[in-house]
Amino acid sequence: MATLRIEGGRRLSGRVSVEGNKNSALPLLAACLLTDRPCEITNVPRIRDVEVLIDLLEDLGASVEGRGTATVRVVCERISGDRPDPVLVGKLRGSVLLLGPLLARYGSARLAPPGGDFPARRTIATHLQALHAMGATALDEPGHALEARGGLHGTSIYLDEASVTGTETALLAAAAARGRTEIRHAAMEPHVVELCEFLRRMGVAIEGEGTTTIGVEPPPRLGGACHRLRGDYIEAGSWGVVAAITGGEIEVTGARALDIEVIAAPLRKMGVRCAYEDNRFTVEPSQLTATRRITTSLWPGFPSDMVSLVTVLATQADGRTLVHDWLYELRLFALEQLSAMRADLFLCDPHRIIVSGPTKLKGRSLDSRDLRSGMALIAAALAAEGETRIAPLETVERGYASLVDRLRGLGAQVERVP
């Protein structure tokens, strides 16, 4: 494992271009298993999570070209088995997206417990609910073992929660089922819409993407598809926070203004001088002020993936801010480490934290427990006095490509230490 050594207190400025949306890349790659025809995805982010999913695809019999580049081509003429490598599955929560394609192509799926952030507290009950509704039955085996002897069939599904990967699991299964499926209480995030667009190119008739009800009518046979991923708006917002917390300025290109809007709105309430248009997001030196409350919500509300970053930003804002993440219980716990950096925090409960600022942060050793809070701690270290060490760096590299080089390009004094 590697450690990121940061010498803080420098103003970061410059330009960054984001790659494709990580949360779109994973379900689209999984969708390639639905067909024996060639599929091509461009603007693929060169990150660890994508590498792990490509390893899983190859383990299941797919031929993959373009690994480590922005263009990935996948051909899966046959599925070689129904049990993805448990070690790889344990590294990636997105491996749950393989359940639908495996049931459709192989008739069964045996998946070890998926890893990723907070695996013990993030269930896949909604995913399993959708698959059971389409005819999959559970097997008395460890992990998540399912079979669909007679194939999957279309049906009407009301999801227990508007889970993003739960909706994507239902879409992937419905795309290869017999008959029409209607998914209600569906997630509306941009990456769900991108999956629908990709499946439509494969020949699936889809209506209602971007709303809470999605209709899916599969073709007799799925074809290949080509798709260019839209830019990662979470990554774009992350770089914006990095600039704002260090008093710098940045221009981020590659993400749609429509997606950036939900991130920029609360940043502006905190005094961040930012603008977004076309594929350009800019942040200028700002006087940060506290806002009464920031609350995460389902799309098009403020995304939970940004909550750790705005919490760190609030440590440098004048006044008191309540940050409320009602979606996940453990994200905010990772930020308790900021107290040792002299941040003024009060963790009310697993979902709410009160931040008072501004406080001058002091560097120290930190633990990157999950992807998003890891990036938030890096932002805190960049604004802090002295040296900070954050490990393991690989946790953050799951979602941020060429992280060290990009930070240096903005003027940060950082070093990757083996």
Q: Residue 369 has what pLDDT? A: 85
Residue with tokens 């060290």: 404
Q: Of the listed 55, 117, 232, 325, which one is catalytic?
A: 117
User: For residue 1, is pLDDT > 70?
Assistant: yes
User: For residue 119, is pLDDT > 50?
Assistant: no
**Cα gap 228→7, rounded to integer Å:** 37
Q: Residue 262 has what pLDDT? A: 96
Q: Are 258 and 230 in contact (CB under 8 A)?
A: no
User: For residue 116, is pLDDT > 80?
Assistant: no
Q: Residue 242 has what pLDDT? A: 98
Q: What is the mean pLDDT of residues 113-123?
A: 65
292: left (phi over 0), alpha (psi -120 to 50) or beta: alpha
The pLDDT tens digits for 379-395 are 999 999 999 999 999 99
Q: Residue 326 has what pLDDT? A: 86
The pLDDT tens digits for 226-239 are 999 999 999 999 99
Q: Which CATH class is domain 22-228?
A: alpha beta
Q: Domain boundaries in the chain? A: 3-18+231-417, 22-228
Q: Residue 330 has what pLDDT? A: 72
- CATH match for 3-18+231-417 among 3.65.10.10, 3.40.228.10, 3.50.50.60, 3.30.540.10: 3.65.10.10
**Cα gap 122→87, rounded to integer Å:** 18
User: For residue 120, is pLDDT > 50?
Assistant: no
Q: What is the mean pLDDT of residues 258-286?
A: 96
Q: Which residues pair with 338 in a beta bridge?
A: none
User: For residue 117, is pLDDT > 70?
Assistant: no
> What is the percent of the chain with per-residue pLDDT over 70, rounded to a whole number?
98
Q: What is the mean pLDDT of residues 156-161?
A: 96
Host H or E run for residue 408: helix 403-409
Nearest partner of 109 among 118, 100, 117, judged by Cα: 100
Q: Residue 63 has what pLDDT? A: 98
Q: What is the mean pLDDT of residues 144-155?
A: 96
Q: Which residues contact 297 (CB under 8 A, 6 or more apart)?
A: none
The separation between CA 189 and the C-alpha centre of its own chain, rounded to angstroms, equals 11
Reading the block at residue 377, the tokens are: 């701690």
Reading the block at residue 235, the tokens are: 């990554």
Same fold, 3-18+231-417 and 22-228: yes
Q: Which residues pair with 280 in a beta bridge?
A: 253, 277
**Cα gap 123→64, rounded to integer Å:** 30
Q: Which residues contact 218 (CB under 8 A, 6 or more apart)?
A: 154, 174, 175, 176, 177, 178, 179, 204, 205
Q: Which residues contact 70 (CB under 8 A, 6 or more apart)?
A: 19, 20, 42, 43, 44, 46
- 117 annotated active-site: yes
Q: What is the mean pLDDT of residues 275-295?
A: 96
At residue 95, what are phi and psi to the nearest 5 degrees? -65, -20
Q: Residue 332 has what pLDDT? A: 87
> What is the percent of the chain with per-residue pLDDT over 90, rounded to a whole number?
94
Q: Which residues contact 258 (CB under 8 A, 6 or more apart)?
A: none
The pLDDT tens digits for 309-357 are 999 999 999 999 999 998 877 778 889 999 999 999 999 998 999 999 9
Q: Does pTM top 0.85 for this prediction?
A: yes
**Cα gap 291→330, rounded to integer Å:** 23
Q: Report the chain's mean pLDDT, rounded to a whole number.
A: 96
Residue spans of alpha helices (H) in 60-124 = 86-89, 99-106
Q: Residue 255 has what pLDDT? A: 98
Q: Residue 358 has what pLDDT? A: 97
**Other C-beta atoms lying within 10 Å of the C-beta of residue 144:** 20
